[in-house]
Structure 1
Amino acid sequence: MPRIFDFGGREVERSVTVASLRALKGGGRHAAQVTAETAEEAGAAEAAGIEMVVCRAANVSRVREGSRRVFVTAALGFADVVTSDEILRTAFSAVTAGADAVITGRGLDTVRMLANEQIPVMGHLGFVPRKSTWVGSIRA
């Protein structure tokens, strides 16, 4: 299990890292990710061999109480953080609390802004119910 320093400066072990996730691309191997909002859910995910969890940014500390090893992605709530300053502040708070990355349903400018600050960021592909008006129906 890789040993790294997290964004809070703590030496930690992670089941996967950003580098190992990037190395998976095109290799046929996948990593599993589930939602965990509590310490109990994060602990259960780790015990089940799940490599990654996603949680709301406000719940990162709680999730880290349940697992120090799973890769945690903090969701930046679409309506919770609106301005660029709020997005950056929430993202920095999440990664210093123990998140390994953030996820956003916002546009490329937001992704670039976060990446320019060296914050690992995921976009969202697939079913986004709140944006169904853009595609004209509820579909993936």
Structure 2
Amino acid sequence: MSGRRLPTVADLLADKGKGQKTMLRYFSLDEAAAAEAAGIDIASVPDDILFHPRYRDAAPTVFSMTGRTHLEAGTPDDYLRWAAEAMNRGADAIYCSGSFDTVEYLANEYIPVVGHVGLCPARATWTGGFRAVGKTAESALKLMHDVKRYEDAGAFAVEIEVVPEEVASEITRRTGILLWSMGAGPGCDAQYLFANDILGYTEGHIPRHSKIYRDFAAEFARLQQERIDAFATFAADVASGAYPGEKHLVRMNPAELDAFREWLEHT
């Protein structure tokens, strides 16, 4: 969008309380370009997409984070080495589902860190599986404490996932860092959805907090049938001799062809 520039962490923090940002998880350069054109503010991006040499051509002003869970990253030193590489290759921030000590370790080296509370898939066994978190006063208070621990550890933002709206709103008002809502209501600093849910091509369970805006699944199915039909027509043309046709061929000058054939007869 014209007039936009890539925001810094300081810019995002300065905007806290001034309305909600938009945030996507997307999976291709085409989706990145669409997010840029649509004016999306923040994105969570798989590292193979964010590190692509054309990523910033596609999304020059989308604040883009990538990350690894604590199950993937290894030790704090491993996490730091990977985070430094990611920042050098274009990431604006790093998602970390590791311990508060690991978050602090990264933040002390000036890595912009995003934490995660509520339903965190990599830690879901500790909160009862894939279900809402914070529906009791006790569990809501623990969420508040966890967000404050992230703040004390140096994180600048926290994804808050599948938490009662009232709880997320109260926590957001009581912290200086950013809360990015995935199914936690409109009282946070950003609304976060997956592109595959918005575009309607999620396979399997559709999260309650998702909203489908387009039916790409039907379009993908139509395109797949078009592929099948095209390939089948090609195979039929080969079988019948319809392909290749005259326009697909390279022809030789007849005199050169006669000379070639004569040489073949004498060699």
* Aligned counterparts of 1:113 and 1:57: Cα–Cα separation in 2: 21
* Aligned counterparts of 1:78 and 1:124: Cα–Cα separation in 2: 12
Correspondence for 2:43 among 34, 43, 53: 53
Does structure 2 retain, via aligned residues, the 8 Å contact 1:102–1:119?
yes
Pair 1:84 & 2:115 matched:
no
Pair 1:18 & 2:13 matched:
no
* Greater percentage in helix: 2
* Aligned counterparts of 2:75 and 2:122: Cα–Cα separation in 1: 19
1:68-112 superposed Cα distances (whole Å, 9 cap, x missing partner): 211011112333211122201110111111111001111211110
Pair 1:37 & 2:27 matched:
yes
Aligned to 1:72: 64
| The structure with more radius of gyration | 2
SS at match of 1:32: strand
* Aligned counterparts of 1:28 and 1:97: Cα–Cα separation in 2: 30
Pair 1:96 & 2:88 matched:
yes
| 1:116 Cα deviation after fit | 0.5
Aligned to 2:121: 129
Unaligned stretches of 5+ in structure 2?
133-267
Aligned to 1:116: 108
* Aligned counterparts of 2:56 and 2:69: Cα–Cα separation in 1: 19
* Aligned counterparts of 2:32 and 2:126: Cα–Cα separation in 1: 34
Pair 1:107 & 2:117 matched:
no
Letter in 2 for 1:46: E
TM-score, normalised to structure 2, is: 0.44
* Aligned counterparts of 2:26 and 2:44: Cα–Cα separation in 1: 6
* Aligned counterparts of 1:74 and 1:81: Cα–Cα separation in 2: 12
Letter in 2 for 1:136: G
| 1:55 Cα deviation after fit | 1.3
SS at match of 1:90: helix
Does structure 1 retain, via aligned residues, the 8 Å contact 2:71–2:122?
no
| 1:65 Cα deviation after fit | 4.2
* Aligned counterparts of 1:91 and 1:130: Cα–Cα separation in 2: 18
RMSD: 1.9
TM-score, normalised to structure 1, is: 0.80
* Aligned counterparts of 1:57 and 1:109: Cα–Cα separation in 2: 23
Letter in 1 for 2:34: A
Letter in 1 for 2:22: A
Assess, with a 3 A threshold, how the Cα gap between structure 1 residues 138 and 77 changes in structure 2: closer, same or farther.
closer
